[in-house]
Structure 1
Amino acid sequence: MSAPKRKAPAMKAKQPESVNKKMLVWWVAIFGVILIAMILLLIFT
């Protein structure tokens, strides 16, 4: 009975990490798109 109880908090601890990773991916993606847009504007102007 103690094994399932130990697994539950581990799953709960992983969920915020996955959310933080998703946010980090979103920030990197947004920064990357802005950076690429700026480079393209510099090249074509």
Structure 2
Amino acid sequence: MSHPKKRPPAMKTKPKETVNKKALIWVLSSFAAIAILMAVLLIVNN
């Protein structure tokens, strides 16, 4: 019994590169927290 040949898809689409939003939020919030902490330490020190 012969199987019908599978046709390749008409248009091959690349998966879109998505930005990991949770990781981006974590990185930005950690940088913001460090910047605020440094500012507070500078103000308290003087």
TM tier, smaller: 0.5 to 0.7
State the identity as a percent: 10
- The count of corresponding residues between Structure 1 and Structure 2 is 29
Segments of structure 1 that go 5 or more residues without pairing to the other structure are: 1-15
Larger radius of gyration between Structure 1 and Structure 2: 2
RMSD over equivalenced CA pairs, Å = 1.4
TM-score, structure 1 as length reference: 0.59
Question: 5+ residue gaps in structure 2?
Answer: 1-17
Give the structure with the higher percent helix: 1
Superposition misfits of 4+ residues, deviation over 2 angstroms? none
